[in-house]
Amino acid sequence: MNSFTTIPKIIAIVQARVGSTRLPGKVLRPLSGKPMLWHVFNRLSHSKLIHKTVIATTTLPEDNQIELFCKENRILFYRGSSDDVLNRYFECAKKFRTEIIVRITADCPLIDPEIVDKMIKAFLKLNELRIFDYLSNTIHRTFPRGLDIEIFSFRTLLKVNRQAAKEYEREHVTPFIYEHPQMFKIKNFVSEKDYSFHRWTVDTEEDFKLVEEIYKALYNQKKIFLLEDILKLFKNRPELININQQVPQKKLGE
């Protein structure tokens, strides 16, 4: 029986580590009274289509903190290679017997569960037709950086884990997919308007300061605020964009 005739097991895998070249310890840094990683998990828990969210961290001693955080908050976790993130993803997905993986990174505390669900619905529809292997909103960006979502099947992840050989392909999980369009059926998910000039990811102090300001303005009124709420805030407070406007985006391998 085709596993896609019923709703497949969909797991969000959030890669997280304490070490960071530009902002060490950022994933556990307090944000509105909770660690930033807690907010990522909490926002994903409001997805109506994700079955489970798992934190995939490393076996490095410094990431014992993340294991402790997960245990204290009853969050599923997996520990694997610090360098071969692709294999960490694969082993995590295999352990939890996932059919569809939603890839999220821990530096995205503004991840939008409604956009996640829209993309999952689109992916499931495409897979019923068997015409796509990978759906992303990052190939041609129209969403703010920090609302990054990639969706692919375990079957695709298995193929990638077997064939990806370059160091950056192993470190960044998905480059082997979108750099080999002849091997994979790829689709980009776009928003109605181009908001790609917004930077809502957290790599630097400036990034964190911006996210802090957004949480201060919105979190007490609405715990799960969405893209539209943040855009409205920027419309009322256009100076916010200046906080991290000059931050260069980290390149693959950095």
* pLDDT surpassing 70 at residue 156: yes
Taking CA 194 as the corner, what is the angle to CA 203 and CA 210, rounded to the nearest 5 degrees?
30
Give residue 20's pLDDT.
Answer: 78
pLDDT band with cut points at 50, 70 and 90 for residue 16? very high
Cα of 89 vs its chain's centroid, Å:
12
Whether residue 132 is contained in a domain is answered as yes
Q: Which of 63, 7, 29 is nearest to 207 (CA)?
A: 29
Give residue 19's pLDDT.
Answer: 87
Q: Which of 152, 128, 129, 148 is nearest to 140 (CA)?
A: 148
Helix (H, G, I), strand (E, B) or coil at 69: helix
Query: Could you give the CA distance from residue 34 to residue 24 in angstroms, rounded to a whole number?
Result: 17
Q: CB–CB of 110/32 below 8 Å?
A: no
Q: Exposed, middle or buried, 123 (CB in 10 Å: 0-12/13-18/19+)? A: buried
Report percent pLDDT > 70 for the chain: 93
Taking CA 81 as the corner, what is the angle to CA 80 and CA 84, rounded to the nearest 5 degrees?
130
Q: Which two tokens stand for residue 48?
A: 């109506």
Give the 3-state secondary structure percentages of the chain, helix then strand then coil, rounded to 5.
Answer: 40, 15, 45
What CATH number does residue 17 fall under?
Answer: 3.90.550.10
Tokens 């109506």 locate to: 48
Tokens 């256009």 locate to: 238
Whether residue 60 is contained in a domain is answered as yes
Number of domains into which the chain is organized: 1
What is the span of the domain harbouring residue 15? 3-196
Average pLDDT over residues 37-58: 98
Whether residue 91 is contained in a domain is answered as yes
What pairing do the DSSP bridges indicate for beta strands 76-80 and 134-136? unpaired
Whether residue 247 is contained in a domain is answered as no
Q: Which two tokens stand for residue 190?
A: 């776009």
Give residue 126's pLDDT.
Answer: 79
Convert the pLDDT of each residue in 126-151 to its tens digit.
776 566 899 999 999 999 999 999 99
* pLDDT surpassing 50 at residue 253: no
Q: Which two tokens stand for residue 29?
A: 């840094």
Convert the pLDDT of each residue in 73-91 to its tens digit.
999 999 999 999 999 999 9
Whether residue 237 is contained in a domain is answered as no
Higher pLDDT, 199 or 7: 199
Report percent pLDDT > 90 for the chain: 87
Give residue 130's pLDDT.
Answer: 64
Number of neighbouring beta carbons within 10 Å of residue 70: 20
* pLDDT surpassing 90 at residue 50: yes
Give residue 24's pLDDT.
Answer: 87
Average confidence score pLDDT of the chain: 92
Q: Give the pTM.
A: 0.92
